[in-house]
Chains A and B, each alone.
Chain A
Amino acid sequence: MNLTELLDSTASRWSPKPAIIEGDSIVSYAELVERIAALASQLQALGVAPGARIGLSYPNSITHVALTFALWRINAVVVPIPVECTDEELSGVAATLRLEAILARRRRGTSVSVQPEVFFTRLTPDLPADNHGLNIAFIRFTSGTTSARKGVVLSHETIRDRVLAANQALRIGPADTVMWCLPMSHHFLVTIVLYLTQGATIVLARHVVAGPFLEAVNRWRGTVLYAAPFHYALLARDASSAGICSVRLAVSTTCSLPEEVAVDFHRRFGLPLAQALGIIELGLICVNVDDPAARWNSVGRPLPDYAVHIRDPDSDGGGEVLVAGPGFFDAYDNPWIWREQLMADGWFATGDIGRKDAEGYLYLIGRNAAVINLAGRKVFPEEIEAVLNRHPAVRESRVYGTAHPRLGEVVEAEVALRSAIEPDALRVFCRAHLSADKVPSRIRMVHAVARTAVTGKVRRPIAPPVA
């Protein structure tokens, strides 16, 4: 099974319909499939073989989508790399996941031009990647050097299953126009792939500031918004009189929705925000389509195909959220660990703390602190710690997310020093090695960082909920 087959069958039914709109350029389903086919033959001619892992470092665009499907068409594996990553971060991903090439908008040393703004750079991994016989479509890189779980491996079948499961609640179809502003390198499967296999139109927002975004919603009669609380906060404070009356569903994802944003957005546009719970390893587990107005602070009831269990609830009913259902990740790499080795009982422990009400609505009361959710991007503490620890003045460090009323969470760090250094100097050092969003906004100097007693690993407490 290959995900391009799903797109082909949608495209044959809806061939003249716009698939993606970027600025003034409108690409129909028929044209999108043609572009994909052309890119696929070019990539094949460059020697991209089935199973080859290819890094994709490309900004939101029609080309980003076409390149992903083109790689799938020739059975290659897509590894998205955020464009804001530094060269050093990119090399780290390439080495860890044994990428054979990078596709990017920027020219590098030995790159070959595939199209005017698409450059292909061949790499030489130390060892060939082992896909363990799996029909892999996608590997999402999740963290740096110290964590054992570096890449989340997803097969074509897995992605199909989670897309179909998610659409039981989202009900995206050919009548929908989705307004898109999240980074595709962080969000692609239960979003872009879902929309395109269901015949919807995607409008790529030029910028996240409210004015141009609302203009685009009204110009293209958007029906679905899918964004982070940060984006909804910008829209909620828009001072113009522009409405969004064509929108039927506004999903808030990536981190807890602050009450103020929920209330202000609802008041400003007359539409409640529906919170969702999506997890890289699992897919879209919950989205509050049933009662977003009264229960704005719930991520909703689990979608029909998923079961959610609260482990060892305390007296308030709060405990760790466990999930069972279809389309879960196939494995972690590198080292390779099969999903079955980690969840023998069929339940995946999310690390999030939550409780359910009498009607089965799930409320998250603490997020998995191993991931920092910053305005729609996922940031992994280990890779920032690895950089801090390399500074000669640093003995050890601990990076964590702190609730921020607007952004969800922000990156902060505790650092134990060997010799004196100013926090600003450490920040500049971080920026030299990491993308801007990963630079800790606050660095606290401590005598020793908190560690867990059992493993000696840096302690990752459950982050408190956003107030």
Chain B
Amino acid sequence: MSDLTHVQARLLEFLRGEVFSPQTAVSGDTDLIASGFDSVSLVSLLLFIERTYGLWVPEREITEATFKNTRALAAVVVRLLDERQSAS
């Protein structure tokens, strides 16, 4: 659980600082796509996750459900990290 909270906090920090304008309030429940999360944001976020966790979110995971909000996104990232750990 602490992993999830930690990942979500880092994603939120990135989205607030580097993707959304300061006027957009982003919380764990904010619908990202409805708030203007477009393909520029998508690419920046994928690169952030790759840089931070050494993890390229596989294309099959890049769905509307994953980008529903930061909580959903963090859950996917944590699951992928767990899968990687158990595979190694």
Whether, in the assembled complex, B60 has its beta carbon less than 8 Å from a beta carbon of chain A, the answer is yes
* Contact with A441, one of B47, B63, B67 (Cβ below 8 angstroms): B47
Among A236, A239, A375, A439, find the residue whose CB has the most chain B CB atoms closer than 10 A: A375
Q: With A and B bound together, what is the CA distance between A36 and B55 in angstroms?
A: 47
Contact indicator B51/A209 (Cβ below 8 Å)? no
Rounded to whole Å, the gap between the CB of A269 and the closest CB of chain B is 14
Whether, in the assembled complex, B41 has its beta carbon less than 8 Å from a beta carbon of chain A, the answer is yes
Q: B46 — which chain A residues lie within 8 A by C-beta? A: 406-407
Q: A208 — which chain B residues lie within 8 A by C-beta? A: 39, 42
Rounded to whole Å, the gap between the CB of A428 and the closest CB of chain B is 6
Contact indicator B59/A233 (Cβ below 8 Å)? yes
Q: With A and B bound together, what is the CA distance between A59 and B51 in angstroms?
A: 28
Whether, in the assembled complex, B19 has its beta carbon less than 8 Å from a beta carbon of chain A, the answer is yes
Which residue of chain A has its CB nearest to the CB of B41? A436
A366-388 CB contacts (< 8 Å) to partner B: 374-377
Residues 423-438 of A, flagged 1 when their CB comes within 8 A of B and 0 if not, give 0000110010001110
Whether, in the assembled complex, A390 has its beta carbon less than 8 Å from a beta carbon of chain B, the answer is no
Rounded to whole Å, the gap between the CB of A188 and the closest CB of chain B is 16
Which residue of chain A has its CB nearest to the CB of B20? A436
Contact indicator A410/B18 (Cβ below 8 Å)? no
Q: With A and B bound together, what is the CA distance between A410 and B51 in angstroms?
A: 12
Q: With A and B bound together, what is the CA distance between A247 and B9 in angstroms?
A: 42
Q: How many residues of A contact B (CB 8 A)?
A: 34
Query: Contacts A406-B56, A427-B18, A428-B17: A84 and B40 contacting too (C-beta < 8 A)?
Result: yes
Residues 52-83 of B, flagged 1 when their CB comes within 8 A of A and 0 if not, give 00001011101110010000000000000000
Rounded to whole Å, the gap between the CB of B59 and the closest CB of chain A is 3
Whether, in the assembled complex, B24 has its beta carbon less than 8 Å from a beta carbon of chain A, the answer is no
Q: With A and B bound together, what is the CA distance between A210 and B47 in angstroms?
A: 19
Q: With A and B bound together, what is the CA distance between A238 and B18 in angstroms?
A: 28
Q: With A and B bound together, what is the CA distance between A209 and B68 in angstroms?
A: 12
Query: Contacts A406-B56, A441-B51: A209 and B41 contacting too (C-beta < 8 A)?
Result: no
Q: With A and B bound together, what is the CA distance between A89 and B45 in angstroms?
A: 21
Which residue of chain A has its CB nearest to the CB of B59? A237
Which residue of chain B has its CB nearest to the CB of A431? B18
Contact indicator B18/A436 (Cβ below 8 Å)? yes
* Contact with A439, one of B18, B42, B56 (Cβ below 8 angstroms): B18
Whether, in the assembled complex, A293 has its beta carbon less than 8 Å from a beta carbon of chain B, the answer is no
Rounded to whole Å, the gap between the CB of A179 and the closest CB of chain B is 14
Whether, in the assembled complex, A129 has its beta carbon less than 8 Å from a beta carbon of chain B, the answer is no
Q: With A and B bound together, what is the CA distance between A436 and B14 in angstroms?
A: 11
Whether, in the assembled complex, B35 has its beta carbon less than 8 Å from a beta carbon of chain A, the answer is no
A421-467 CB contacts (< 8 Å) to partner B: 427-428, 431, 435-437, 439, 441-442
Q: A437 — which chain B residues lie within 8 A by C-beta? A: 40, 43-44
Q: A211 — which chain B residues lie within 8 A by C-beta? A: 63-64
Contact indicator B51/A436 (Cβ below 8 Å)? no
Q: B33 — which chain A residues lie within 8 A by C-beta? A: 207
Whether, in the assembled complex, A181 has its beta carbon less than 8 Å from a beta carbon of chain B, the answer is yes
Contact indicator A209/B43 (Cβ below 8 Å)? no
Q: A59 — which chain B residues lie within 8 A by C-beta? A: 38
Contact indicator A212/B44 (Cβ below 8 Å)? no
Residues 316-342 of A, flagged 1 when their CB comes within 8 A of B and 0 if not, give 000000000000000000000000000
Q: A436 — which chain B residues lie within 8 A by C-beta? A: 18-19, 40-41, 44
Rounded to whole Å, the gap between the CB of B88 and the closest CB of chain A is 20
Q: A183 — which chain B residues lie within 8 A by C-beta? A: 39-40
Contact indicator B47/A234 (Cβ below 8 Å)? no
A and B contact pairs by CB, cutoff 8 A, 20 listed: A59-B38, A183-B39, A183-B40, A207-B39, A208-B39, A209-B63, A230-B43, A237-B58, A237-B60, A239-B60, A375-B43, A377-B40, A406-B46, A406-B56, A410-B47, A428-B17, A428-B18, A436-B19, A441-B47, A441-B50
Excluding A207-B33, A210-B63, A437-B40, 6 further A-B contacts by CB distance (< 8 Å) are A84-B40, A212-B64, A230-B43, A234-B59, A376-B39, A428-B18
Among all A-B residue pairs, the 6 with the closest Cβ atoms: A237-B59, A436-B44, A237-B60, A441-B47, A208-B39, A431-B18
